[in-house]
Amino acid sequence: MHRARYDAHELDPGIPEPPDDPVPGRIRALLRRNRTIGAATISERQRWRAAYLGNVSLIDDWIGEILAVLRRRDWLSNTWIVFIFDHGEMLGDHALWGKTVFYRQSVTVPCILRPPGGITGRVSNALVELIDVPATLRDIAGAEPLDSAMGCSLCEHLTSDSTGKEAIVSDLFGQTMLRTRHHKLVFGTVDKRPHQLFDLEADPDERENRVFDTRLATELLDRWMEPFDALTDQTAFARYRDYVKQSGSLN
């Protein structure tokens, strides 16, 4: 039923081309593992998207059922709604499937806030992170921010045009992504060796890997990662890396 809402032939098939050289080792392994994704036809890619949108619509409908109950019981006037995903989906873009990479399709997620009683809808393009959600919940509850916490409340974006943080960081499987308003740098978490570098203003689809621009990569690392590393509990981080390594997910 939900899949039938979408005409696959009208959907954007996305970015079928594989990543630009040099291709990082982890992504190269994913491409080898899923060769059929890169070889898919335009029609197949459109059908994937229609099925995915159908699943999203199913979730939307059930969220709507929850809101309908709150509305009938007159609880929306004192209920905050915070709706967020933990990851995106490649859906064949860059010849990749799933998540676990730092392309926009995988790391960009919906984030919807609605205060009690609601407000006029607005869209924000501010840079925010999942670690901002706990800070937001504390803000909603009237609690003081945690000492040394890196997360920031998202509530300010309900009424202001704040651009958010100047840079955000994400870590997964031995790789780290540094995302500023203008660039994205992916590098080895321990050795800081750059794997991918994108100019997001000139190349928003992340097609051209500029990793050979070592000067820019070094500037980004020095400007943003040195302060971040200084704030990080290195003992806890080492324990986390040991856990990931034992689980077989660290490369």
- Kindly report, residue by residue over 37-59, the tens digit of the pLDDT: 999 999 999 999 999 999 999 99
Work out the end-to-end distance of the chain between its first and last CA atoms, rounded to an integer number of angstroms. Answer: 41
Which of 10-14, 109-113, 148-152 comes out lowest in average pLDDT? 148-152
Summarised one tens digit per residue, pLDDT across range 174-231 is: 899 999 999 999 999 888 999 999 999 999 999 999 999 999 999 999 999 988 887 7
SS3 73: coil
Measured in residues, the chain has a length of 251
160 pLDDT more than 80: yes
Contacts of 6 (CB under 8 A, 6+ apart): 49, 50, 53, 54
CATH superfamily for 16-33+76-246 is Alkaline Phosphatase, subunit A (3.40.720.10)
On whether the pTM is more than 0.95, the answer is no
Mean pLDDT score across all residues of the chain: 91
Location of structure tokens 């915070």: 82
In the chain, where the domains are located: 16-33+76-246
